[in-house]
Amino acid sequence: MTFYGTEIRSRLLLGTAQYPSPQVLADAVRAAAPDIVTVSLRRESGRLREGQDFWGLIRGLGARVLPNTAGCHSVKEAVTTAQMAREVFGTPWVKLEVIGDADTLQPDVFGLVEAAKILSEDGFEVFPYTTADLVVAEKLLEAGCKVLMPWGAPIGTGMGLNDVYALRSLRAHFPDVPLVVDAGIGKPSHAAAAMELGYDAILLNTAVAKAGDPVMIARAFAQAIEAGRAGYLAGPIEPRDMAAPSTPVFGRASFA
């Protein structure tokens, strides 16, 4: 799997917010062994030197950083945050969020496409957090995105895959585009189900950070994602309406 020409070994991307402590975060990252961790930019850090210990912790984990524009509600805000993040973290990668609804945290897809185009033209490699909409996906690709990150369900809900049909359609329409389910995953079984649909990776945060044992569930998610990917590649049988005996009926003994 490659993102913008960079080879990625782990298909689990892990967020770094809301953990009970820095030590739990570090232990969860080590248990999950992701190649990529997402980090949101706190604007006050540059002025007050806050967050430096956190940034040092992230660097020490050895994973590639994917900055995000979490909490941005306008194109200008998202673009400005992305530009600041590029300076702070030294990477052209950015997970682009432009939130349109405060209750569901659903992306503003119109602003998202606009911001993606601006950032792509500015040399960014954009990972857009979007809905599982085919038309929006096409517009994001036209805007320069080479990865798409559709939601499974609203951020932090743990509801799993709300619209399997839409996710399956997205995979079928864009077979060569890396697709990452981002948001809404609550259980390892949800992650496995997404991987069985043919998705390339899963991005998690709340499901790990807020679990009773973040370290244990981080490891469980890593295992589930690996199992789901293997299941997809193995070509599982298609569901059918009628029973099909697993034991052959021809040649069985006949008792008159």
What does the alpha-carbon distance between residue 126 and residue 148 come to, in Å, rounded to a whole number?
9
Measured CA distances, 25 to 29, 155, 194 (Å): 6, 19, 24
205 is in an annotated binding site: yes
68 is in an annotated binding site: no
What does the alpha-carbon distance between residue 106 and residue 96 come to, in Å, rounded to a whole number?
13
What does the alpha-carbon distance between residue 171 and residue 168 come to, in Å, rounded to a whole number?
5
Active site residues: 95
228 is in an annotated binding site: no
Angle among Cα 108, 1, 162 to the nearest 5 degrees reads 40
Q: Which residues define the annotated binding site?
A: 156, 183-184, 205-206
Q: Which residues define the annotated binding site for 1-deoxy-D-xylulose 5-phosphate?
A: 156, 183-184, 205-206
